[in-house]
């Protein structure tokens, strides 16, 4: 076998990893193995533009497919191929048809899949939203007048509820334990987002969860923890995600929540030692928060695959060449969402704040322009702004960068 | 000199390009993108970074 790096996963993380391996000087073979049949494509529009008006499946895919970097040459793509197992010590992967692929280096980029609601009742008629195929299937069900229940009020749940309402559906949002986007935004701005949603006719149900689905063959409604019954033609489950780590079992890794890594994105054994020649990229990677000296966590934002690929790829090439990794960058997390035309931008780690202060505007009216500062031990660790021009976002980003403490132990 | 173009139908004024490549991209006070269509080849790496971080993939290199 020649020199080969396998990239497991062919979404944005897999693409960026392959590109960054070339940028890091790897001129051996690169094989990207992906379970979906589609080439890497952009997911944020799936809950917004694509869900609202996808066109034909071919048009939708064409509008979403990433253009690879010009140096990303000689990459072999094995799409529609599921990895079922691995032996990291031996340097082999097993594919679902039994074929074994050997590698010198491995990038773990198999990402997440949606978590499902654990409640009894029929499975048919319950949608999730992660892939293009999911979005196309859900779009077909979002006909005007349809009664739609969205379970879960994170980014995907709120965006999906807003898109369904804009398509003329009657939408109920079952918020769950926390309010709309409350974990990343905090309670004050979460209430403002709820006002945005209810202002456009969405029925927000606070502090309740689904305990049972109704219907015999297909789901026709749901029963909430407060005893309420909701009729539903369409149910969307947006209750978080689980890491696709099953194929890594049996390698003595810590797979408790994604794949545990060090700050160079090198995958660690359960005892905390780097596995030779294995790194992880994207939202499957649980890595230390160097900026805020917080324990390792996964980051499910759009920029994470690109940020982590830039660290992981050079570390992997160095390891294969018997060299130590270069000093790792400390990416500043960022996220955004659009709710009925109001853009919400997050910078840093607002979810880890102990205190929140209003920097400008009023969080009750995010569409009129607001910025909130998120503090930990009096240090600004994040800002969320909404309804403001992008120039203000750049300003607040600089504030977070200037306040940030880098811990480099 | 290298050349780029931004598809204004796609551009959503996120401003990520102005972070990645501030010499080529900037946002005015209304939050609308301004950019240089031609730039020095020395900036090619950071312009490629701007292309990568554009959430709507609206930036194109002209050949």
- pLDDT value for A408: 45
Angle A57-64/A132-141 helices, nearest 10 degrees?
130
Question: How many whole angstroms separate alpha carbon A179 and alpha carbon A189?
Answer: 10
Residue of A nearest to B63 (CA): A70
The residue to which tokens 């529609």 are assigned: A80
**Mean residue pLDDT across chain A:** 95
Q: What confidence score (pLDDT) does residue A407 get?
A: 52
- 33-52 in B: which are within 8 Å (CB) of A? 33, 48, 52
- Does B29 lie at the interface with A, CB-CB under 8 angstroms? yes
Supply angle C-alpha A223, A225, A226, rounded to 5. Answer: 100
Identify whether residues A255 and A368 lie together within a single domain.
no
For A141, phi then psi, to 5°, come to -90, -15
Q: What is the pTM of this model?
A: 0.95
Q: How far is the C-alpha of A48 from the C-alpha of A61, rounded, in Å?
A: 14
User: What mean pLDDT do residues A392-399 have?
Assistant: 94
Domain end (from A210, A239, A268):
A239
Q: Within a domain: residue A330? A: no
Tokens of A291: 């900026």
Residue A39's pLDDT is what?
96
Q: Are residues A183 and A124 in the same domain?
A: yes
Residue A58 lies in a domain: no
Q: Cα(A378)–Cα(A362) distance, rounded to whole angstroms?
A: 21
* Mean pLDDT (whole number) for A21-50: 97
- pLDDT(A166) > 70: yes
- Which residue among A239, A261, A284 closes a domain? A239
The answer on pLDDT for A2 being more than 70 is no
pLDDT (tens digit, 9 = 90+) per residue, A39-58? 999 999 999 999 999 999 99
Q: What are the φ/ψ torsions at residue A146 (nearest 5 degrees)? A: -65, 140
Residue B4: strand, helix, or coil = strand
- Has residue A1 got a pLDDT over 70? no
Q: Is residue A266 part of a domain?
A: yes
CA-wise closest residue to A287 among A300, A322, A276:
A300
Contact call for B19 and A66, based on CB within 8 A: no
Distance CA A312, CA A24 (A): 10
Calculate how close chain A gets to B26, using CA atoms only, in Å: 8
Q: Cβ B27–A44 below 8 Å, yes or no?
A: no
- The reply to whether A61 falls in a domain is no
pLDDT at A94: 98
Six token digits for residue A38: 């589609």
Query: In CATH, what number is assigned to the domain containing residue A147?
Result: 3.50.50.60
Could you give the number of structural domains in chain A?
A: 3
Is residue A50 a part of any domain in this protein? no
For A120, A224, A370, A393, the CA distances from A16, given in Å and listed in that order, are 40, 42, 34, 25
A121 with A235, same domain? yes
B57: closest chain A residue by CA? A66
Residue of B29, B55, B61, B62 for testing the chain A interface, max A β-carbons within 10 Å: B55
Any domain includes A325: no
Token pair 């008629």: residue: A125
Are A284 and A244 contacting, i.e. CB atoms less than 8 angstroms apart? yes
Q: What is the pLDDT of residue A60?
A: 97
The upper half-sphere exposure of residue A378, i.e. CA atoms within 13 Å in the direction of its Cβ, equals 0
CB contact under 8 A, A391 and B29: yes
**Mean pLDDT, to the nearest integer, of B15-25?**
95
Let me know the angle formed at the C-alpha of A144 by A143 and A145, rounded to the nearest 5 degrees: 110
pLDDT for residue A72 is more than 90: no
Residues of B in contact with A44 (CB under 8 A): 55
A230-234, A341-345, A403-407: the lowest-pLDDT one: A403-407
Between CA A252 and CA A74 the distance in angstroms is 33
Instruction: Given the cut 0.90, state whether the ipTM is greater than it.
Output: yes
Residue A113 to residues A5, A31, A128, A248, A319: CA-CA distances in angstroms? 24, 22, 9, 16, 30
Q: What is the CATH number of the domain that holds A395?
A: 3.30.390.30
| Mean pLDDT in residue range A21-36 | 97
Residue where a domain stops, chosen among A209, A239, A269: A239
Query: Does residue A294 sit in the same domain as residue A220?
Result: no
For residue B59, list chain A residues with Cβ-Cβ distance below 8 A.
none
Provide mean pLDDT across the span A295-315: 96
pLDDT in tens, A307-340: 999 999 999 999 999 999 999 888 999 999 999 9
Residue range B35-54: mean pLDDT, rounded: 93
How many CA atoms does the CB half-sphere of B39 hold within 13 Å? 19
- Is there a single domain that holds both residue A120 and residue A235? yes
Are both A94 and A24 inside the same structural domain?
Answer: yes
**Rg (alpha carbons) of chain A, rounded to whole number:** 22
Residues A353 and A285 in one domain: no
Q: Which residue of A has its CA nearest to B19?
A: A394
Q: Would you say A325 and A265 are in contact if contact means Cβ atoms under 8 Å apart? A: no
Q: Identify the H or E element spanning A51.
A: helix A49-52
Q: Which residues of A touch B30 (CB under 8 A)?
A: 389, 391
Query: Are A229 and A367 in the same domain?
Result: no
Q: Are residues A98 and A12 in the same domain?
A: yes
Residue A329 has a pLDDT of 87
A60 located within any domain: no
The span from the CA of A245 to the CA of A143, in Å, is 36
**Residue A48, domain member (yes or no):** no
Same domain, A219 and A307: no
Determine the distance in angstroms separating the CA of A225 from the nearest CA of chain B, rounded to an integer.
Answer: 38
**Nearest residue in chain A measured CA to CA from B27:** A391
Q: How far is CA A363 from CA A10, A184, A189, A214, in A?
A: 39, 14, 5, 37
**Residue B19 CA neighbour count, 13 Å, CB half:** 23
Quick one: A89 and A33 in the same domain?
Answer: yes
Asked if A249 and A216 sit in the same domain, the reply is no
pLDDT at A355: 95
Residues 6+ positions from A249 with CB-CB distance below 8 Å: A85, A255
Residues of B whose CB is below 8 A from A69: 48, 52
Q: Which domain holds residue A185?
A: 116-239
């Amino acid at each position: 076998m020649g020199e080969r790096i396998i990239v497991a996963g062919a979404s944005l993380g897999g693409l960026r990893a392959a590109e960054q391996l070339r940028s890091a000087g790897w001129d051996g073979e690169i094989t990207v193995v992906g379970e979906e049949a589609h080439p890497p494509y952009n997911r944020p529009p799936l809950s917004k533009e694509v869900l609202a008006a996808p066109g034909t499946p071919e048009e939708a895919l064409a509008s979403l497919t990433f253009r690879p970097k010009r140096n990303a040459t000689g990459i072999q793509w094995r799409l529609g191929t599921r990895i079922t197992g691995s032996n990291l010590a031996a340097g082999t992967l097993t594919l679902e048809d039994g074929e074994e692929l050997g590698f010198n280096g491995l990038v773990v980029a198999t990402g997440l899949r949606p978590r499902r609601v654990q409640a009894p009742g029929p499975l048919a008629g319950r949608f999730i939203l992660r892939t293009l195929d999911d979005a196309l299937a859900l779009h077909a069900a979002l006909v005007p007048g349809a009664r739609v229940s969205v379970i879960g009020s994170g980014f995907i749940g709120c965006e999906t509820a807003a898109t369904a309402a804009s398509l003329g559906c009657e939408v109920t949002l079952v918020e769950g334990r926390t309010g709309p986007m409350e974990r990343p935004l905090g309670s004050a701005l979460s209430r403002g987002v709820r006002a945005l949603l209810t202002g456009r006719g969405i029925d927000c149900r606070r502090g309740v969860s689904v305990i049972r689905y109704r219907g015999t063959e297909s789901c026709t409604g749901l029963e909430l923890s407060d005893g309420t019954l909701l009729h539903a033609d369409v149910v969307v489950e947006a209750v978080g995600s689980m890491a696709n780590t099953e194929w890594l079992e049996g390698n003595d890794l810590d797979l408790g929540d994604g794949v545990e890594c060090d700050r160079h994105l090198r995958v660690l054994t359960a005892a905390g030692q780097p596995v030779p020649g294995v790194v992880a990229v994207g939202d499957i990677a649980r890595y230390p928060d160097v900026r805020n000296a917080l324990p390792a966590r996964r980051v499910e934002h759009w920029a994470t695959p690109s940020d982590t690929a830039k660290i992981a790829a050079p570390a992997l090439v160095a390891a294969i060449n018997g060299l130590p990794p270069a000093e790792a960058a400390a990416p500043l997390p960022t996220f955004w969402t659009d709710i009925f035309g109001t853009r919400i931008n997050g910078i840093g780690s607002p979810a880890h704040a102990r205190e929140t202060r209003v920097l400008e505007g009023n969080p009750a009216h995010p569409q009129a322009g607001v910025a909130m500062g998120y503090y930990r031990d009096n240090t600004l660790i994040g800002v969320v702004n909404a309804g403001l021009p992008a120039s203000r976002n750049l300003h607040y980003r600089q504030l977070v960068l200037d306040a940030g403490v880098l811990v480099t132990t | 000199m290298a050349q780029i173009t931004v598809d204004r139908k796609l551009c959503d004024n996120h401003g990520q390009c102005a972070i990645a490549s501030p010499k080529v991209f900037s946002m005015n006070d209304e939050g609308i993108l301004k950019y240089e269509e031609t730039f020095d080849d020395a900036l090619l790496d950071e312009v490629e970074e701007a292309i990568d971080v554009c959430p709507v993939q609206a930036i194109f290199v002209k050949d």
